[in-house]
C-alpha cells in the first residue's frame, strides 16, 4: 500500500538549535570539571540578546558567557545585528531546587534498603520513547535520516566555501513514498536556506539542487516526479535570532525520529544524565537498536515511564508494529530482564557523566556513529531469544 511520510530538520544556525548548542556547550564545560554536577540550563535568543537560565549545582567555575560567544562564533554569526562579539548576554542561573534534589539523591527504594543502583531516583516523572527500524544503515527512518543529512550538508558547503553566499540559518524537509514498510522514492524535498544579498534566486536554487540535494539523496530515490521547493518564498536574507527568536528544547522532533516515534515531551539539551528525559531516552534508543540488530523485529518503539524519586520504571511498553518475531509483551519482558533501566545503571552502562553532549545538539541525537547509545554490542545477547 502506497503512503507518504515527511520529516524535517534544521541547520546549526537555526535560532532554536543555536540555543540547544549553547546549553549543551555549557553542560560539557561543567562536566569536564565536575562529572557529578547537576545541570539544567536553557537559553533563549532574540535579535541581539541571549539569556542563559536554569539550575546548576556544582563548585566548578565555568564562564557561561564565553561558552555562548564561542558557540555563536563557531556557528557563523559574525555579521549583522546578532554577532558573537557584540550580542548582549544575561545569565540567570541558580542551584537545583532542594525539593527536586532530595528525590534524585535518594530514591524510594534506597531509603528502604536497595543496592547501589537504587541510590539515585528519577529526577522527574514522565515517559520516554526509543525507536529503531531497518530502513537505513543507521537504524533510523529514511525521512529523518535524509532531512538531517541535507541540513548538515547545507552547513558543510557554507563552511568550506563552496557556496560562500550561504548563511547559518536553514531548514530541510523530505517526504518519502513507501510501499508498505519499504521506502521506494523521495516524493518531495523542501530546502530553505539563509543567504547574503549577492545571490540570485535562480543561482541559489540550481546550486542547492546540485551541491546539496543531489549529493545527499541517492539517485535511485529521485525521479522525474520528485518535487523540489528551494527557498519557495524567494529571499531569505534575515535569519537566526535576528529574524526569529530561539529557545532551547523547541526542536524535540528534529532531535529524535522526525515524527515516526511518539515523544514524551521532554527536551534533552542542557540536562545532565540524572534527568531521565535525556538518559532514559538514550537508553531506550540503545535497546531498540539492539533489538532490531538482533533480528527480534524490523521496527520497534519502546516506552519507559518513571515517577520522581523512584529508580525503577513504573511501566515498560513495546510496539513492534507487527514485525516482531515474538509477541510484544514477551519482548517487553525480555527487555526488563536484560536491561537495567534504573537511572544510575543507565548512566553507568552508557558512561554518561562525560562531556559528549555538544555533538548531539544539532542534526539529531540518534543515528550518529560513536555515541554509546548507538552501539549494537548487546545484539548477540538478545539473539539467543530467536531460538526459544
Q: DSSP string spanning 268-317? A: -TTB-TTSHHHHHHHHHHHHHHHHHHTTS-SEEEEEEEE-TT-SS-SEEE
Question: Is the separation of the CB atoms in 364 and 379 below 8 Å?
Answer: no
| Residue labelled with grid coordinates 533480528 | 295
> For the segment 240-291, what is each residue's pLDDT rounded down to a tens digit?
999 999 999 999 999 999 999 999 999 999 999 999 999 999 999 999 999 9
Please give the DSSP secondary-structure letter assigned to residue 124.
S
User: 379 and 293 in contact (C-beta within 8 Å)?
Assistant: yes
CA distances from 315 to 279, 325, 379 (A): 16, 22, 23
Give me the residue label for grid cell 539473539.
383
Q: What is the CA 383 to chain-centroid distance, rounded?
A: 28
* Interval 339-355: pLDDT, tens: 999 999 999 999 999 99
The DSSP symbol for 213 reads: I
Q: Which residues contact 279 (CB under 8 A, 6 or more apart)?
A: 273, 343, 346, 347, 350, 352
Place of cell 527500524: 133
Please give the average per-residue pLDDT across 200-215, as a whole number: 98
Grid cell locating 291: 533489538
**Which residues make Cβ contacts (< 8 Å) with residue 273, sequence separation at least 6?**
279, 343, 346, 347, 350, 352, 353
Tell me how far the alpha carbon of residue 251 is from its chain's centroid: 8
Q: Which of 323, 301, 304, 326 is nearest to 313 (CA)?
A: 304
Which pairing describes strands 227-230 and 182-195: parallel, antiparallel, or unpaired?
A: parallel
pLDDT tens profile 93-107: 998 666 655 556 655
Integer CA distances (angstroms), 219 to 141, 150, 215, 232, 371, in order: 18, 14, 9, 23, 29
Mean pLDDT of all residues belonging to the chain: 94
Percent residues over pLDDT 70 in the chain = 95
Average pLDDT for 76-97: 93
Q: pTM of the prediction?
A: 0.95
Write down the pLDDT at residue 115. 66
Amino acid at each position: 500500500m502506497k503512503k507518504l511520510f515527511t520529516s524535517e530538520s534544521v541547520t546549526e544556525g537555526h535560532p532554536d538549535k543555536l540555543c540547544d548548542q549553547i546549553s549543551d556547550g555549557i553542560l560539557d564545560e561543567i562536566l569536564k570539571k565536575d562529572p557529578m554536577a547537576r545541570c539544567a540550563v536553557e537559553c533563549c535568543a532574540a535579535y541581539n540578546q541571549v539569556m542563559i537560565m536554569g539550575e546548576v549545582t556544582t563548585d566548578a567555575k565555568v564562564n557561561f558567557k564565553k561558552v555562548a560567544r564561542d558557540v555563536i562564533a563557531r556557528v557563523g554569526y559574525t555579521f549583522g545585528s546578532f554577532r558573537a562579539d557584540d550580542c548582549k548576554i544575561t545569565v540567570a542561573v541558580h542551584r537545583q531546587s532542594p525539593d527536586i534534589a532530595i528525590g534524585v539523591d535518594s530514591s524510594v527504594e534506597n531509603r528502604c534498603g536497595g543496592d547501589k543502583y537504587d541510590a539515585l531516583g528519577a529526577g522527574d516523572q514522565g515517559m520516554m520513547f526509543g525507536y529503531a527500524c531497518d530502513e537505513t544503515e543507521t537504524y533510523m527512518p529514511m525521512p529523518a535520516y535524509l532531512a538531517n543529512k541535507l541540513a548538515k550538508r547545507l552547513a558543510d558547503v557554507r563552511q568550506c566555501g563552496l557556496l560562500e553566499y550561504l548563511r547559518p540559518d536553514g531548514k530541510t524537509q523530505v517526504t518519502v513514498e513507501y510501499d508498505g514498510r519499504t521506502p521506494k522514492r523521495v516524493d518531495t524535498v523542501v530546502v530553505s536556506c539563509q543567504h547574503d544579498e549577492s545571490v540570485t534566486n535562480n543561482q541559489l536554487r540550481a546550486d542547492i539542487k546540485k551541491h546539496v540535494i543531489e549529493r545527499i539523496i541517492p539517485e535511485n530515490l529521485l525521479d522525474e516526479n520528485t518535487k523540489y521547493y528551494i527557498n519557495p518564498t524567494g529571499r531569505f536574507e534575515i535569519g537566526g535570532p535576528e529574524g526569529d527568536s530561539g529557545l532551547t528544547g523547541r526542536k524535540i522532533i528534529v532531535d529524535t525520529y522526525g515524527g515516526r516515534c511518539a515523544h514524551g515531551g521532554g527536551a534533552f539539551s542542557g540536562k545532565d544524565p540524572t534527568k531521565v528525559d535525556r538518559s532514559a531516552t538514550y537508553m531506550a534508543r540503545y535497546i531498540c537498536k539492539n533489538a532490531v540488530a538482533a533480528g527480534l523485529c524490523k521496527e520497534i518503539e519502546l516506552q519507559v515511564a518513571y515517577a520522581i524519586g523512584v529508580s525503577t520504571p513504573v511501566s515498560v511498553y513495546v510496539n513492534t508494529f507487527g514485525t516482531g518475531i515474538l509477541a510484544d509483551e514477551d519482548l517487553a519482558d525480555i527487555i526488563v530482564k536484560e536491561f537495567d533501566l534504573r537511572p544510575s545503571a543507565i548512566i553507568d552502562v552508557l558512561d554518561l557523566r562525560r562531556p559528549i553532549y555538544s555533538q548531539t545538539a544539532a542534526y539529531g541525537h540518534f543515528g550518529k556513529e560513536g555515541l554509546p547509545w548507538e552501539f549494537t554490542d548487546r545484539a548477540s545477547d538478545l539473539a539467543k531469544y530467536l531460538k526459544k
